[in-house]
Amino acid sequence: MIPLVLILGAVGFRALGALGVRRFTTWPVAAAHAMAVMLVLTASAHFVPASVTVMPNHADMVRMVPPFLPYADALVYLTGVLELLGAAGLVLTATRRLAGYALAALFVGLLPANIHAAVADVPFAGGEATPLWQRIPEQILYLAVALWVARTARAAAPVKEEVYA
């Protein structure tokens, strides 16, 4: 479901670009905005109370954290905040490159949790656990898009200081 948000979001934003919305005239910018939407959706699960069962919630995310990592509860909140910051960074032209690289690092860092969740059969929203054969390609997709967005982002223009006499 979440990869579909990324793919359809990129197509949708790029279609807006084709209709004249200048912000979305390139695929990397459309993908950056689609990934931002995806990240807002995924980050929201980090803060959803355990009593909510129609979507992944905080308790589901805590169960994903490998047992060798301390402070699982705090790590889930931290990664949720990092995802939201990454989403904001992707939308802002000046920070898109940095956000893309930072998110790529975050996706690599989250890989052990995704592997643990698949191997330990951690269910989401009371449903089935996502199998490893699905989780790994999804992480690779997110990593590839983040790197693509970062590499194609224009470097922030240096601030010109003007002195008025």
2 assigned to some structural domain: yes
How many alpha carbons lie under 13 Å from residue 84 in its C-beta half-sphere? 11
Could you give the 3-state DSSP secondary structure of residue 67? coil
pLDDT tens, 74-104? 999 999 999 999 999 999 999 999 999 999 9
Overall number of domains in the chain: 1
Tokens of 66: 């490998």
pTM value is 0.88
113 assigned to some structural domain: yes
**Long-range contacts, stretch 117-120, CB < 8 angstroms, 24+ apart:** 117/63, 117/64, 120/63
18 assigned to some structural domain: yes
Give me the mean pLDDT over the 11-27 stretch: 95
Structural domain range at position 114: 1-47+56-155
pLDDT, residue 2, reads 87
163 assigned to some structural domain: no
